[in-house]
Amino acid sequence: MTDLTTRAGRIAALKAAAKARVLILDGSWGVMFQKKKLSEADYRAKRFADYNGQMKGNNDVLCLTRPDLVAELHDAYFSAGADISETNTFSGTTIAQADYRLSEQDVWDINLEGAKIGRSVADRWNARTPDRPKFIAGSIGPLNVMLSMSSDVNDPGARKVTFDQVYDAYRQQVSALYEGGVDLFLIETITDTLNCKAAIKAILDLRDEGHEELPIWISGTITDRSGRTLSGQTAEAFWNSVKHCKPFAVGFNCALGADLMRPHIAEMARIADTLVAAYPNAGLPNAMGEYDEDPHQTGHALHQWASDGLVNILGGCCGTTPDHICHVAEAVAGVTPRAIPERPKAMRLAGLEPFELA
């Protein structure tokens, strides 16, 4: 049996599990924290008692102020059948946390403690059920600024940040997540591929400096029925832009429900010579911004994806709960994961559209 007490052992177990079955990711974190009806005091605790402003809504800071709730949610998703749970660090960069005026040390601690909390919960599960190992993915979310698009409609070259600034923010985040003990990195909800490239470089540079190589999972976001990311790329162009890092998995999450996301996942399944992962929303939000798709509907839709050989990893994004994840896990149990295709060699490039030269 693989030694799950070492990072190398867990990575080997993760890769073995991906060959054996469709893996299950957890679901939404934001919706679950909203259900807790947390107060401003929950977000502040002693550390931010004198903070001048509103901290409520900054869910990442709960890693420091309510770690018990973060651990509880990891446990709930593992209990529901998730193989992989994300750290509560979706907005854990100095750029994103600048909205709350948090210091670099605060942001470092959010990521470090977020990883440690997840690691502790997963280790407890692995001690009890080593035949069904649990893994922790370091969540690296999008930024509120973009490198690919202008911040001023009157100045196409205007940017609020430079590539180096974005890289530095991600480098701090991935370093803290690594130190905290994550098993893989998940760059998710990508709206801007150039931002994603900065995160990829931060991870690769960490490895090149002698740190253990962790799997990279890349998850873009198709924003609407156009079939493009916010920065304008098609699914194939997006893949051509990120495949150089040889990711462990690639796919899409957020923005769409399963019905609207399916054609884009099918396209990625056709072209990607690695694992394909998807975690859609629980349908589209209603007029009140809430999600109405029930767990059975989500489970049924994702069962069809798996049965049709489109995916290797499934989970849920906005609006999904442990009950949704339980239905997905039960629905795809025993389904053979997607076979990774072999594509003929060619020069494949991308701008907004893919370009191939055989």
Binding residue positions for Zn(2+):
254, 317-318
CA distances from 181 to 75, 111, 176 (A): 17, 10, 9
Are the beta carbons of 352 and 228 closer than 8 angstroms?
A: yes
Written as six digits, the tokens of 10 are: 């867990």
Pick out the residues of the known binding site. Answer: 254, 317-318
d(CA 349, CA 353): 9
**Torsions phi, psi of 5, nearest 5?**
-85, -10
27's CB contacts (< 8 A; 6+ apart) are: 77, 80, 82, 279, 315, 316, 317, 320, 321, 322, 324, 325
